[in-house]
Amino acid sequence: MNITICFDKLDPAPWVQGLQQAFPEASVSAWAPGAPPAEHAIVWAPPQQFIDEQVGLQTLFNIGAGVDALLKLKLPPALKVVRLDDAGMSVQMAEYVCHAVIRHFREFDGYDADTQLGKWSYRKPRSRADFAVGVMGLGVLGERVAKALQVFDFSVNGYSRSPKDLPGIRCFSGAQSLPEFLQATRVLVNLMPLTTETENILNKDTLSQLQKGGYVINVARGKHLVEDDLITLIDEGHLSGATLDVFRTEPLPAGHPFWQHPKITVTPHTSARTLREESIAQIVGKMQALQRGEPIRGVVDHQRGY
């Protein structure tokens, strides 16, 4: 079995070494133009040339949860695209989101601002009953986030394309239930996959339906959010702020209004990073399952986009 690795702006050498150690019976190499054909590939933002040259590929393993960039390429219809199920990302995402929710709910951002001024301040405790958290997207990451929020006694709503049934979580599904989900939510966490249907889904119309004082946490894709609409709703007072980890242009350009907005917290796309050892173990397990003719999880539906 030949396995090739093709990464954009990421050193493939540690992955080649790690995969070769984990799967010694395979031949593993980093791709270069004109490289010999392979049956399986591990990729991150590969060029179209890679797809065009590697005509014998059976499977593309993407080293991230989102595959929107990959599906923009011209892929053979029979090529199986596989995303990571978790590989250590879900616990990171749960940590990040719980931190952002609690920081907002407990007004730690306000305390931070006061301490910078040498001010000893006090804020009246808020009621969790007034801070229902809505998680948009109940895949592997979204489900873990929703369950983690329950530990802190937040009321949790969940929204997904298809119906889900999660204990203790009020679940909504389908476009017809989106308004009800938004109106029942004060803190909105976006974990939706990016598709043609979900691009720009966080806009003035949808975000205006959040409860007064709503807060937005976007950890999915920058193209979900209409940036000017968010700033307008914050400045008008309908939204109280946002924590953003993903952006339409990354790195976030110097001079972008998000950098200096007092009610927006920016982090550099770090909410859930790919962990190499966990990812290699998962990918090898799936390759071995395919060798045995067994089904695997994480196969992407090209039409749905996830």
Active centre residues (catalytic): 221, 269
Element housing 7 (H / E): strand 2-7
- Dist CA 141 CA 87 (whole Å): 11
Q: Which two tokens stand for residue 236?
A: 């008008």
- Dist CA 201 CA 210 (whole Å): 13
Q: Which two tokens stand for residue 234?
A: 């914050």
- Dist CA 246 CA 219 (whole Å): 6
Torsion over CA: 218, 224, 228, 230 (sign): negative
CA atoms in the 13 A half-sphere facing the CB of 219: 28
Counting beta carbons within 10 angstroms of the beta carbon of residue 258, is it exposed (0 to 12), middle (13 to 18) or buried (19 or more)? middle
Beta bridge partners of 145: none
Q: Is the peptide bond before 257 cis (omega within 30 degrees of 0)?
A: no
Sheet holding 264-266, edge to edge: 170-173, 156-160, 133-136, 187-190, 214-218, 239-244, 264-266
